[in-house]
Amino acid sequence: MRNSVALSQPGILFLLVTCPLLTILHGVTCKAESGHLGENDPDRCMRHHFVETITHPIYKCNSKMVLLARCEGHCSHTSRSDPMISFSSVLKQPFKSTCFCCRPHTSKLKAVRLRCSGGTRITATYRYILACSCEECS
């Protein structure tokens, strides 16, 4: 228990624990990824899980629910644009901009088979995100 304070009044003892609830919840439900903000910051770049139903847009197939992941959160790097110096009258790129985005760092290919009318099967593929990180935007 970090940062705990005991407050007491006659016959009553209060224990105030200042531990971010989201950190506890994310530790149980999500695997935190390396962002550039503090590891206890709930807004850092990290993987978030959600459930999506996959259906075929044309054929009549059974739908399937799958667990997916997305990268979401803030990166601590500041975005900036610096002017470029040129000795030409035309500046094709007048600024050099740098920014950092929360992006997938590693992922793996997954597939789901849908059963369709007439006994045919169709395979849907997607990338499942394993880890997120703050990377320079392109």
DSSP readout, 3-17? SEEEEEETTEEEEEE
What are the tens digits of pLDDT across the range 35-73?
A: 345 667 778 899 999 999 999 999 899 999 999 999 999
Q: Predicted confidence band at 89 (pLDDT cuts at 50, 70, 90)?
A: confident
Cα 88 vs. chain centroid, distance in angstroms?
Answer: 43
One-letter amino acid for residue 117 of the chain: S
Using DSSP's 3-state secondary structure scheme, residue 67 falls into strand
Average pLDDT, the chain: 76
Residues facing 127 on adjacent strands: 109
Which of the two residues, 24 and 81, has the higher pLDDT score?
Answer: 81
- SS3 assignment, position 39: coil
State the pLDDT at residue 9: 40
Task: Find the DSSP H helices in 20-121.
Answer: 21-29
DSSP state of 35: -
Question: Residue 32 pLDDT > 60, yes or no?
Answer: no
Residues 73 and 87 sit within 8 Å (Cβ to Cβ): no
Instruction: Give the global pTM.
Output: 0.61
